[in-house]
Structure 1
Amino acid sequence: MSLTDKAIEQLRELISTGALPPGSKLPPEPDLAAQLGLSRNLAREAVKALAVARILEVRRGDGTYVTSLEPSLLLEGLGGAVELLQGDAGALLDLMEVRRLLEPMTTALAATRISDEALAEVKRHLDAMREARDDVERLNSHDAAFHRAVASATGNDTLLTILEGVSGRTLRARVWRGLVDAQAAGRTLAEHEAIFDALAARDATLSQAAALMHVNSTERWLREHLESGSTIRDEAQAVTRPKVRQNP
């Protein structure tokens, strides 16, 4: 472990033990360095690292504070990290496996807790998906919102944040799925309708099964697609690259 890593660990320990609780202001750099038995340079590096991790917030002209340490804040970087895995087929399939483990249980939990207002929000996005079935971008935008509304209905912000981070990558996979397979939009819509119907019935077992079928369908397509030699990144570039109009 490097000296910088040790400095980070020492500062993290002050926060985890409550010596520096959420919202508290850190001592001035010289005092903090002395308290930790570090050089000012190491203390500064530790603060920078924890600021990047959203554990600390540096406010210019005011000082450095411990953030709220809420899951939605600390796990914020998960989605960004997932986006860096675009060209790694193995990592992408691993993420699909994580989603397969989490999303069905999340949907089952949502069925036991979902309010009428939350169910109406899920239906709003389902209706929008029906209207946008020929518009891949809108379809997938409401697809993501649909799943977010379901996860949000559990009332578990940590679960919501983790699922959003993992699903951010699989959302891209569904976009390309819609582009390369003309029948994908209809199948995806039917899968979402089954999830909504199960939620509306407040049936946890049926909701879990419907969500599992949906994730399995996406994962199966993705495996076949990647095995064919195609890559999500290549398709993204092909679709977003401006088309050159040729003279007849």
Structure 2
Amino acid sequence: MSLTDKAIARIRQLIQDGELRPGTKLPPEQQLAAELGLSRNLMREAVKALVVARVLEIRRGDGTYVTSLAPGLLLEGLGSAVELLQGDTVLELTEVRKLFEPVATALAAARITDADLAEVERHLEAMRTAQDDVELLNRHDAAFHRAVARATGNETLATLLEHISGRTLRARVWRGLVDADAAARTIAEHEVIHQALAARDPNLAQAAALMHVNTTERWLREHLAGDEQIPAGPPQPSP
């Protein structure tokens, strides 16, 4: 472990031990460096690294503070990391999505409020309207699932799902362009999920979500088994 990593670990330990709580202002650099037995240069490097990790924030003219440490903030970098994954990792991410999303949908069914349900319905209706526009349909598809995840009331789960699912969006757009029946089938599957949520039925919601992700996974496996590749940029329909 480098000296900088050790300095980072010392500050993180203060946060984990509750000595530095969310929103707390750090002592002046020289004082904190002396308390931790670090040089000021090491302290600066550690603070910079923790700012990038969204653990600390520098307020110009005021000082350095511990952030809220909210899951949505600390896990922010996960989406960027997932986007950099290479190879056929879209299938691996779909498998991960299959583990998380059905359970999240069941949890949402048990906790969903009328306002949450109205938001899910809004995106479902937008999907119906956008049936002939693949990219718009998939944007509302993603928003539908974000609304379901938020309805769980579990910010960590919702954040993880959003970052995992984001990498599979291009694959879903690609599917919509090459499979003429994909839009109607996708909307029908979302209708079933919505009905289960409206009925506040966790078991039915979990089964509906699992069937939905299974359909996507099966299609991807069939098409990636050959020489087909998911387009790196916005896919274009065949002439």
Q: TM-score, normalised by structure 2?
A: 0.94
Report the CA distance between 1:109 and its aligned residue: 1.0
Report the CA distance between 1:232 and its aligned residue: 2.3
1:131 correspondence with 2:129? yes
Which residue is equivalent to 2:236?
239
Which residue is equivalent to 2:164?
166
Report the CA distance between 1:237 and its aligned residue: 5.7
Which residue is equivalent to 1:229?
227
SS at the partner of 2:236? helix
Report the CA distance between 1:137 and its aligned residue: 1.6
Which residue is equivalent to 2:87?
88
Q: Deviations over 1:84-138 (max 9, x none)?
A: 12x421x322211111011101111111111222112111111110110111121
Aligned residues: 237
What CA distance in whole angstroms lies between the structure 2 residues aligned with 1:231 and 1:185?
A: 20
Report the CA distance between 1:195 and its aligned residue: 0.6
What CA distance in whole angstroms lies between the structure 1 residues aligned with 2:166 and 2:179?
A: 20
Which residue is equivalent to 1:8?
8
Q: Deviations over 1:176-206 (max 9, x none)?
A: 1112222211111111111111111211111
What CA distance in whole angstroms lies between the structure 2 residues aligned with 1:84 and 1:12?
A: 27
Structure 1: runs of 5+ lacking an equivalent? 241-248
Q: 1:180 is matched by which residue type in structure 2?
A: V
What CA distance in whole angstroms lies between the structure 2 residues aligned with 1:231 and 1:44?
A: 45
Report the CA distance between 1:4 and its aligned residue: 1.3
1:118 correspondence with 2:116? yes
After superposing on structure 2, the runs of 4+ consecutive aligned residues of structure 1 that deviate more than 6 Å are none
Which residue is equivalent to 2:32?
32
Which residue is equivalent to 1:60?
60
Q: Aligned Cα RMSD in Å?
A: 1.5
1:216 correspondence with 2:214? yes
Contact 2:173 2:235 in 1 (8 A): no
What CA distance in whole angstroms lies between the structure 2 residues aligned with 1:220 and 1:99?
A: 13
Structure 2: runs of 5+ lacking an equivalent? none
Counting aligned pairs with the same residue, the percent is 71
Which residue is equivalent to 2:46?
46
Contact 2:83 2:167 in 1 (8 A): yes
Contact 2:174 2:235 in 1 (8 A): no
Which residue is equivalent to 1:204?
202
Q: 1:7 is matched by which residue type in structure 2?
A: A
SS at the partner of 1:57? strand
Report the CA distance between 1:208 and its aligned residue: 0.5
Q: 1:137 is matched by which residue type in structure 2?
A: E
Q: 1:156 is matched by which residue type in structure 2?
A: N
Q: TM-score, normalised by structure 1?
A: 0.91
Report the CA distance between 1:212 and its aligned residue: 0.1
What CA distance in whole angstroms lies between the structure 2 residues aligned with 1:212 and 1:151?
A: 14
Which residue is equivalent to 1:101?
99
Q: 1:69 is matched by which residue type in structure 2?
A: L
Report the CA distance between 1:239 and its aligned residue: 3.4
Sort the Cα spacing of 1:237 and 1:130 in 2 relative to 1 into closer, same or farther, 3 A: closer
Sort the Cα spacing of 1:147 and 1:238 in 2 relative to 1 into closer, same or farther, 3 A: closer
What CA distance in whole angstroms lies between the structure 1 residues aligned with 2:111 and 2:221?
A: 33
SS at the partner of 2:65? strand
